[in-house]
Amino acid sequence: MRYISTRGEAAPRGFEDVLLAGLAEDGGLFLPESWPSLGAAEWRALRGLPYAELAARLIHPFTGGALSLEDLQGLTRAAYAGFRHPATVPLVQLGPRDFALELFHGPTLAFKDVALQLLGRLFDHVLAKRGERITIVGATSGDTGSAAIEACRDRAAVDIVILHPRGRTSEVQRRQMTTVLAPNVANLAIEGSFDDCQDLVKAMFVDAPFRAEMRLAAVNSINWARIVAQIPYYAAAALALGAPEREVAVSVPTGNFGNVLAAWAARRMGLPIARFIVASNRNDILARFLAANDMSVRPVEPSLSPSMDIQVSSNFERLLFELLGRDAAATARIMRDFRATGRMPVPDAAWRAASADFAGFALDDDATLAEIARWHAEAGYLADPHTAVGLAAARAHAPADPGIPVVTAATAHPAKFPDAVERATGLRPPLPPALADLYAREERLAVLPNDLAAVQGFVRAHALRNAA
């Protein structure tokens, strides 16, 4: 298994190099040169496996022999041993065809834990074998940062710096990052939006001398290993609901397009997913694109679902590359135009192909609160704002065939957004016992302007101090 860049100018490489590189040198994103595929009998053989075993078996083809199945099984078992639910990613039925796939039972109460708890162990495994050290830089709109920090804290060969938009995460999200006082962890609050943070991270990766000096690596969903580690939970849900004999649809609250892209990758492997429903908040660039081929950037507006407060969805580039028949030159040209003009000129045929499989949906804050209240009243279920948007999208775009169940990715624990949940239901969800003292913990962070040189200086000082 080798990996190629969506922009065609980076040399193909194996899984370990893609894991450590994150972003390709040409600014593109890595994808497998060819997609592994499972037949119906192979999918049936996976039914009933413990989640860690299922994950290892589905991820292993993407490693191209870089890890043995036995080594990968050890890593997945360790990654998911600390999750609070014995099913790791339990499926909860809310209505006749409505299901919530709870992805928030990891240490930081968000779906990012499912991938990042494994990613941290993959980094350790590869770095120990190579005798190398890396510096991880990442941008977060709320959940990736805390999950990445938790996965990488106190690791001997990893330094990590996470950028978040100042004042634009929930208090729980911020504190989960800034109260980890491990010496290899640093937090930067950037005066700007998540897109500004993401741009700073990408700029550091395309600065070749800085990238080489710092040995930069990525934990955002620009890192292919993040995407591949999310494929198994869609398989777990579909298999539990009757796949491969029965189709399912998925509704995914998403801003950066990575989580729904993982579901799409599962279908490329042969999983019968009938429809992908892309749920957005008022930052509705994905919904506008799918409805009318309008991929145009607007100012980011803060919302009750901050993890979706994004206008530049990085992972869409991977889907675009596939929609264009893997034409790297066309992909690179379209992405350059998008960066220059704020508008993405997607060819009509590619847009029609996307809208045939993907349905877009957007919900404002008032309607999000109403959706939280509705599910609590009808099913006794407390949904966080992101999950509520996903549930509303599932209802709006469920397939016409009532025999096709709709699985909504429940991406965050309601206790991460207690103010919104309390406004909607009158109930304030408590933090789990392991985080009960979160509001009393000491915080540590630095505040910087949206300035590349200042951020690079901070990253360099942090990494060099720890390497000394």
Give the residue numbers marked as catalytic.
112
Neighbours of 432 (CB within 10 A): 13
DSSP 435: G
| Cα 212 to Cα 200: distance, rounded to the nearest angstrom | 16
Which SS3 state, helix, strand or coil, does residue 158 take?
Answer: strand
Q: Is the dihedral of CA 298, 301, 303, 305 positive or negative?
A: positive
- Which residues, 6 or more positions from 260, have their beta carbon under 8 angstroms from its beta carbon? 250, 252, 254, 276, 278, 358
Helices 328-341 & 316-323, crossing angle to 10 degrees?
140
Outline where 157-256 has alpha helix (H).
Answer: 171-178, 194-206, 208-214, 224-228, 231-240
| Cα 238 to Cα 78: distance, rounded to the nearest angstrom | 24
Shortest CA distance to 5 belongs to which of 335, 318, 352, 381?
318
- Which residues, 6 or more positions from 243, have their beta carbon under 8 angstroms from its beta carbon? 43, 235, 271, 272
Residue 406 Rama label (left phi>0; alpha psi -120 to 50; beta): beta
| Cα 255 to Cα 385: distance, rounded to the nearest angstrom | 13
Can you list the positions of beta strands (E) in 285-429? Answer: 358-362, 406-410
| Cα 323 to Cα 344: distance, rounded to the nearest angstrom | 14
Shortest CA distance to 304 belongs to which of 412, 461, 158?
412
- Which residues, 6 or more positions from 24, have their beta carbon under 8 angstroms from its beta carbon? 5, 6, 7, 10, 30
